[in-house]
Amino acid sequence: MEKQLFDSRTQFQALLEECMSRARLTLQLFDPDYAWWQLGSSKTDALLRHFLQHRGRLQLVAHSNAHLERHEPRFLKLLEDYSHQIECRLTSRSIHTLTDSFCVADGVHIVRRFHSDHFRGEADFNAPASTQTSLERYDAIWAETQPGLKPGTTGL
Q: What is the pLDDT of residues 10-31, one digit of tens each?
A: 999 999 999 999 999 999 999 9
pLDDT at position 156 is 39
- Report yes or no on whether pTM surpasses 0.95: no
Amino acid letter at 40?
G
pLDDT tens digits for range 54-113: 999 999 999 999 999 999 999 999 999 999 999 999 999 999 999 999 999 999 999 999
Residue 35 has pLDDT above 80, yes or no: yes
Q: Which residues pair with 104 in a beta bridge?
A: 28, 110
Question: How many other C-beta atoms lie within 10 A of the C-beta of residue 122?
Answer: 16
99 within a domain of the structure (yes/no): yes
Give the 3-state secondary structure of residue 3.
Answer: coil
Task: Count how many domains the chain has.
Answer: 1
154 within a domain of the structure (yes/no): no
155 within a domain of the structure (yes/no): no
156 within a domain of the structure (yes/no): no
Domain span at 100: 4-147
Q: What is the CATH number of the domain that holds 65?
A: 3.30.870.10
How, if at all, do strands 121-124 and 86-91 pair? unpaired
Closest CA to 88 of 143, 145, 50, 6: 145
- 3-class SS string, 65-132: CHHHHHHCHHHHHHHHHCCCCEEEEEECHHHCCCCCEEEEECCCEEEEECCCCCCCEEEECCCHHHHH
Question: How many other C-beta atoms lie within 10 A of the C-beta of residue 140?
Answer: 11
Report the alpha-carbon distance of residue 73 to residue 49 in Å, rounded.
14
Amino acid letter at 95?
I
153 within a domain of the structure (yes/no): no
152 within a domain of the structure (yes/no): no
Give the 3-state secondary structure of residue 60.
Answer: strand
Range 4-39 burial, b when 16+ CB lie within 10 A, else e: eebeeeebbbebbbbbbebbeeebbbbbbebbbbbb
